[in-house]
Chain A
C-alpha cells in the first residue's frame, strides 16, 4: 500500500474544528466528523487480524505523529501489535512506542516481554534491534532490566550487538544517572573492544557518561589511534575530539621550547610534514639523541596521533576535516599546523552552513597563525552572490590575513566591496579598512584618504560608518589632520546618523585647538538644534561645550551656559546629570574651587588611541570546531580543553605490556571459548547466585577459604614458600578484588569440582585472574559477615563443597555435566544435603505456616453513593479461587442500596474490555430493597496485566461505567513448594528474569510476623519454608499464564535488606518489587 493515500487521509481526518487549514478538505468532512470517531476507526483497524489493515492504521498514526498531533489515546490499541508478525507494522509500532512510552509508562510495560524475548534471539540483528527499542523506552521502572540487557549485550559475540549496547549506555544514563558506576564498568569493557564498529559508539558513550575518567583511555589510546581510519565518519569525529582532550593532559606542549629548538625542530618537523616515513625516521634519530640535552622531544604517542589523523583531512565529511583541523591546531607543533589550511579552504566550496562554521574557525585560527592561510588569500575573496553573513566572515579573515606585502591587493579588493549594494557589508568593509590602517602603519594615510573620500558618498550609512572609523584613526596622530577635522565639521550640517554626529562632535571637542575658528560655530549650530538631537549627540554637545569653555571661554561662555540650561531640563536623567556635573566642574564657584582648577586636566587629558581588534581574538580558548567556540560562550556540557601539563605524566600508562597483554587475550579467548556454553541464559545463573547472597553461595566461598587454609597447613612441610606465596595470592585477590564475580567462580567450579574437591586452591587463583569484579557491593556484606560464619563452618568444612555441588548441579541448565557427577558422590551428598536441610529447619524459628491474610487492598469503592444515585458498590479481592475458571481473579462485589426505592435488575452490561481480559459476570440480582445489601462474586481474567477491566453496571433504569484495576499482587495465587524446589525453580529464573532491589527495613518491620504479614498482604503468595532466620521466601503463580513468581527477602543485616523477585513475567516482577518495598518501608 502506498504511503500517499495514508497521508492524505490523515490530513483529511485531522480536520477538526480547530484546524481551519484542512477544514475544507471535502473528502474527509463527510466521513469523519470528529477526532474521537476517527480514532475509534483506527482502533478497529488495529484490532483486526488483517495485516494490511493494521499497516494502514499504523501509517496513518505515524503520519499524525509526524505532524505533531497527539495520538496517545491509541496507545493500548497500538501496543498490542508489538509482537505482530508483519515487519513493517512492527517497525511502526516501535516508532509509536518510543514516542509515547514515556507518557504511558504502565501500558508500555506490556511490551517489554516481547523485547526481552528478542534479546535472546539467535539472530544478532534481532537482538540488536530489541535492545535498541528497549533502551529507547524512557520508563524508569525498567532501569534494572535495561542494565542487565546492556551488560549482557556488551559481551555479545556480535560486534553489532555490542555497538548497540554502547548506544544504549547514554540512554540509560540519562534515565537514571545513579547507574553511573555500573555503566562505567561496561564502558571500560567496551573500550577494550577491538572492532571498528564499536569504537565510535563507545567513545560517544564515554564522552556522555564519564568524560572525566581520562584514565580509562590510557590502555586503549594506541588502539584507538590505529583503528581511527577505519571507523565510520561519525565515530571519527567523536574519537578525534576526545583524543584532543586526552593529548592535552598527557603530553607536553610542542611549542614550549620551539625557539631553543628551532634548528633541530625544523629538520624533524619539515621531514615529517613532507613524508611521513621519513618524518618518523628523523624522529627516531631525534629520540636516539635524547640524552644529548634536548629539552623537548615529542612523545611517540603524541606523534602517533598526529600521524594517524592526518589522512582524515581528506575525508569527504566536513565534520571529520574540521575535527582533524582543530586537533592539529591544538596539538601540533607550529610548523606542522599548516597542513590543515588546504583542507579547510576546500570546505569553503561546500554548503553555505558549512562555510559559515568553517569561516568562523578560520577567523580564529588566522589571528594566531596568520602565515598558514596566506597562500589561500584569494580563496576568501568575496562574490556578490555570497550571503551577507558569509561575506562578513570572509572580510574578517581577509583583514586578519592582511600584512605589509599583501595589503595593496587586499585594499584593492576592499575598494570593490565598498561599492556593493549590500550596505551592511559596506559598513563592515569600512571597519575592516580601519583595522588594516591601525595594524599596518604604512597604509594608514592611504586608508584615511580613502575613507575621507567616502565622506562624500551618497549613502548616509557609508558616511556615518566612515566617520566613526576616521575618528578612531585620527586619535592616533591628530596633529597632521586638521584638514580632515575641518571637513568633518562641515558634515554636521548634512549627516543625520546619531553615532556619526556624536563622533564628529567628540573629535572637534578633543582637537579644538586644531580648528579654533570652526569649533565655536559648530557649537552654536548644535545649541540651536539641541532639543531635537538624539541622546548620544546631546551628551557630546555638552562635552564639546565644556571643552570649548575651558579653552576658549571668551567666545563660548554664553553658549555653554545656554546648552547647560537646556540640558538641565532634558527628559533624560543621564543628560540632566551630565549637565549638572559639568557645570560644577567648569564654572568656578566659591565652594567647588578645588575641582574646577583641575577641570582642564580632567577634560583635556591625552587619551590613548583605541585598539581596533578582531572579535575573534582569544576565541581559541574554546576548543575549535565546538559549539561553544561558535557561540563564543560556554555551551552546556562543554568540556574545557585543558592546558598542557608542566611535566609530562608517566607515558608508560599507555604501554600495554606483553605479559598483561597475553593474559588479557587469554582471558578474552577463554571468554570466547566459553561463550557457546555460558553466554546465554546459563551464564546468568552465576552472578545472580551470589547476588542474592543466599546462605549457600556464601558458605561456598567461605568453605573454600577455610579449606584453602586447611590445605595450606597440611602441605606446609613439603614446600613452605610456594604455599605461602600461593596463599598470599589467594588472599590478596580475595580481599583486594573483593569476592570478585561469583559468575566465574561458580563456572569454574562446575567442571573442576567434579572429581576433586581439594582443587580449591588453584581455583581461587584462576578465579581471581578471570575476575571481572562486577559485584563490588557484595564484598562488603561478606566482609562483615565472616566472623559468624567462620565459626559455624569449620566442622562441616569437608562436607561443604559437596553440598555446594548439589546446589549447583541442581541448576538444571547444566544438564550435560550435571548428570555425571551426581552418580558417584550422590550417596554422600544427598544424605549430606538432607542433613543440612534438617539442620536448617531446626534452626528456623518460624514454623512454615501458610498465612493467607486478606489482601492489603481492603474494600475499594466501585461506585459512590452520589454517582450511583443511592446504589453503593464496593469490591474486595477475596483471594479465593474462582470456581468457574482458575485463570480468573475472584472479586467480591458488595452492593447496598441507600436510596429509598428498590433497585431492580442489577447486572453487568456489555463490557468493553482490552484484549485478553475477560469477565465472568455475576448472576443478576433481581431486586435490592432500600437499606438492604447483597454480595456477588465475579471473576475477571486480567491476563496477567494491571490493565483495568472496564464494564457497565446496569440497573433497570440506569447504566454506570465502572472499572476495576487490580494491584499486581492480586494477579497470582500461592503455590506450595519446598526450599529445594524453590531453589531449583529460582535457578531457572535468573538473569533477565530476576530483579533485585536493596531496601532499609524500618524498626517497626523487623519481626518475622510483621514482615510475612506485610508481604502476603501485598501479594497473594505462599510462604516457603526457609532454612535461615531473617530470610523469607514466597512463591506463587500468576493466574492466567501460570508463570512462577518467586520472592526472596534477605534481611540478615540489621535494617538493610535485599528483595529479589524471580519471574518470567518481568513486568509483574518489577511492579511487585515496587509494591512490596513500598509495603515494607511504610
Chain B
C-alpha cells in the first residue's frame, strides 16, 4: 500500500491553493481529471469521491467549501484515505477554529508542519490531536504577538512523549488549577414523516462529547442508569472494550481537552418520540401561475420541555419564482436563485402555534410541479435526552484531587424530514 502520494487543496472556484507531496512531486495537472469530474457532476456534492485516471487515482473529500484531493498510485482501501483526509480537516478546524481557505492560507507554515507530521511517506504517523499539539503549538493571538517580540517559535521544542507511550492519545504532564470534567450527551432524531403525519422511519443517534481538563493521569469510569438502551456504540480508542462488554461501564484514561467519547444508536425496538408535528398544505394550481403555501408547527411528545431553535428549510421546485408569505412568528427568507425557503421560527409557545402562509408565484406557462417539496426541520430541546439515557455516576481513580463534574443533555433534530 503506497497510500497518499500528494495532497491538493482546491477552493470552490477551482484554484489549487496548496499542494503537498510526500514522495516525488506529482504535477498539478493531475487535478484536471478532478475538474472534469466536477464539471460533469453539476453540483459539489455529486463529485465522485474516487476518480480513476490513467496513472493515478484521486480520492477527494468536500469539507467546508474546500476540496481535499489526494493522489494515490496503488491499491489502498478508499475509506482509509477518506478517513485520513477528514482527520486532516478536523485538525485544521481544531487548530485554526475554522477549516477555510483564508485560515489555511494565513497559517500555511503550520499547515505544512502539520501535514509533515501527519503522514510519513504517505502513511499516517501522528494523527492524535494531543500529540500534534505537543509537536506544533496552535496559533493564538497572544502567542503570535509574543513570538514576534521574542522571536520564539510555534514548534514545540519538547519532544512528543505521547508518541512513545501506550496511551498515545494523552500527553504527559498535564496540569490544571481547576480540575473539571464535562460531558455533553447530545441526541439527534433522524426521521422521515410522510404526508399523512405518520412516521416512516425514525431513530435516535447520540454522541457523548467530553471536555476533560484534569491534571496528571486520571482514570475515569462513567456508568449509566440504563446502559441497555445503547444498541450500537462506537468508541474512542481510549475506552477499555472488555470492561464495557462485561459491565457496561465506560472506563478510560481520557485525552486532554475536547474529544468525542462515544457515539451510539438507540435500539430500534424503542419507539421514538417525535417532539413536533407539522400541518401543511401546499398546492400548485394547474394552468395558473400561483400556488398556495401554508404550514403550521406544533409540539407533540415534547416531555414537557420547551422546543427551541426551530428552523424550517424547504427546497422549492425550480418553477417557483417568488413567495409572498406572512408569518405569525419569526422571520422567513426566500432565495430566488437557489429556491431555498428558510423560516426561522424560534421557540414554540403552545398557546399560539407559529404558522407561515401565503402565495407562491410560479413561472408562467411552465407545467406545475408534480411533487410538493419536503420540509427539513431543525429544533433543539435543552436538558433532555429523548431516549431517556441517564448518566449514573463518574468516578475517578489514580489521582487524589476532587474534580468538578458536569453532565449536560440536549436533543436536536438530525435529518428530520417531513414529506408533503
Q: Does A46 contact B (CB under 8 A)?
A: no
What residues of B have a CB within 8 angstroms of the CB of A125 in the complex? 159-160, 163-164
Question: A99 CA to B19 CA in the complex, in Å?
Answer: 11
What residues of B have a CB within 8 angstroms of the CB of A63 in the complex? 108-109
Selected interface stretch from B44-52, B273-281, B396-404: B44-52
Instruction: Tell me which of B24, B77, B148, B157 has the highest count of chain A C-beta atoms within 10 A of its own C-beta.
Output: B77
Q: A630-B50, A636-B74 are in contact. Are A314 and B241 (CB under 8 A)?
A: yes
Q: Is the CB of B52 within 8 A of A631?
A: yes
| Interface secondary structure of A, over-half rule | helix
Tell me the smallest distance from the CB of B320 to a CB of chain A, in Å.
11
Q: Does B337 contact A (CB under 8 A)?
A: no
Nearest residue (CB) in B for A196 is B166
CB within 8 A of A7: which of B105, B144, B153? Answer: B105
Question: A626 CA to B50 CA in the complex, in Å?
Answer: 12
Q: Does A601 contact B (CB under 8 A)?
A: no
Task: Bin the interface of chain B by size.
Answer: 35 or more
Q: A3-B106, A66-B108, A174-B23 are in contact. Are A52 and B151 (CB under 8 A)?
A: yes
Question: A358 CA to B154 CA in the complex, in Å?
Answer: 39
Q: Does A269 contact B (CB under 8 A)?
A: no
Selected interface stretch from A231-239, A436-444, A488-496, A678-686: A231-239
Tell me the smallest distance from the CB of A53 to a CB of chain B, in Å.
9
Q: Is the CB of B155 within 8 A of A352?
A: no
Tell me the smallest distance from the CB of B384 to a CB of chain A, in Å.
21
Q: Is the CB of B86 within 8 A of A351?
A: yes
CB within 8 A of A636: which of B75, B79, B166, B317? Answer: B75
Tell me the smallest distance from the CB of B305 to a CB of chain A, in Å.
24
Tell me the smallest distance from the CB of B309 to a CB of chain A, in Å.
19
Q: Is the CB of A316 within 8 A of B234?
A: yes
Nearest residue (CB) in A for B261 is A316
Tell me the smallest distance from the CB of A588 to a CB of chain B, in Å.
51
Selected interface stretch from A84-92, A146-154, A278-286, A761-769: A84-92
Q: Does B78 contact A (CB under 8 A)?
A: yes
What residues of A have a CB within 8 angstroms of the CB of B241 in the complex? 229, 311, 314
Question: A457 CA to B370 CA in the complex, in Å?
Answer: 9
Tell me the smallest distance from the CB of A870 to a CB of chain B, in Å.
45
Q: Is the CB of B80 within 8 A of A234?
A: yes
Nearest residue (CB) in A for B44 is A387
Tell me the smallest distance from the CB of A12 to a CB of chain B, in Å.
13
Q: Is the CB of A208 within 8 A of B1?
A: yes
Q: Is the CB of A136 within 8 A of B79?
A: no
Instruction: Tell me which of B80, B106, B203 has the highest count of chain A C-beta atoms within 10 A of its own C-beta.
Output: B80
Tell me the smallest distance from the CB of A458 to a CB of chain B, in Å.
5
Q: Does A6 contact B (CB under 8 A)?
A: yes
Interface flags, B105-124, vs A, CB<8A=1, else 0:
11111111100100011011
Q: Is the CB of B108 within 8 A of A316?
A: no
Q: Is the CB of B232 within 8 A of A346?
A: yes
Q: Is the CB of A99 within 8 A of B25?
A: yes
Count of inter-chain pairs, beta carbons less than 8 A: 267
Tell me the smallest distance from the CB of A372 to a CB of chain B, in Å.
15
What residues of A have a CB within 8 angstroms of the CB of B49 in the complex? 353, 356-357
Q: Is the CB of B79 within 8 A of A318?
A: yes
What residues of A have a CB within 8 angstroms of the CB of B226 in the complex? none
Tell me the smallest distance from the CB of A427 to a CB of chain B, in Å.
15
Q: Is the CB of A354 within 8 A of B83?
A: yes
Selected interface stretch from B173-181, B345-353, B371-379: B371-379
Task: Bin the interface of chain A by size.
Answer: 35 or more
Q: Does A607 contact B (CB under 8 A)?
A: no
Tell me which residues from 611 to 656 in chain A have a Cβ below 8 Å from any Cβ of chain B.
Answer: 625-628, 630-631, 633, 635-639
Q: Does A735 contact B (CB under 8 A)?
A: no
Q: Does B20 contact A (CB under 8 A)?
A: yes
List residues of chain A with CB under 8 Å of any chain B CB: 1-4, 6-7, 51-52, 55, 59, 62-63, 65-68, 86-88, 91-92, 94-95, 99, 102, 123-126, 132, 135-136, 138, 158-160, 164, 167-168, 170-171, 174, 196-197, 201, 204, 207-208, 229-230, 232-234, 237-238, 241, 311, 314-319, 321-323, 342-343, 345-346, 349, 351-354, 356-358, 378-379, 381, 383-385, 387-389, 413, 416, 419-421, 457-459, 625-628, 630-631, 633, 635-639
List residues of chain B with CB under 8 Å of any chain A CB: 1-2, 16-21, 23-25, 28, 43, 45-46, 48-50, 52, 57, 60-63, 72-80, 82-84, 86, 105-113, 116, 120-121, 123-125, 127, 139, 144, 147-148, 151, 153-155, 157, 159-160, 163-164, 166, 168, 190, 192, 194, 200-201, 203, 205, 231-237, 241, 245, 260, 263, 265, 315, 317-318, 367, 369-371, 373-374, 376, 415, 417, 419
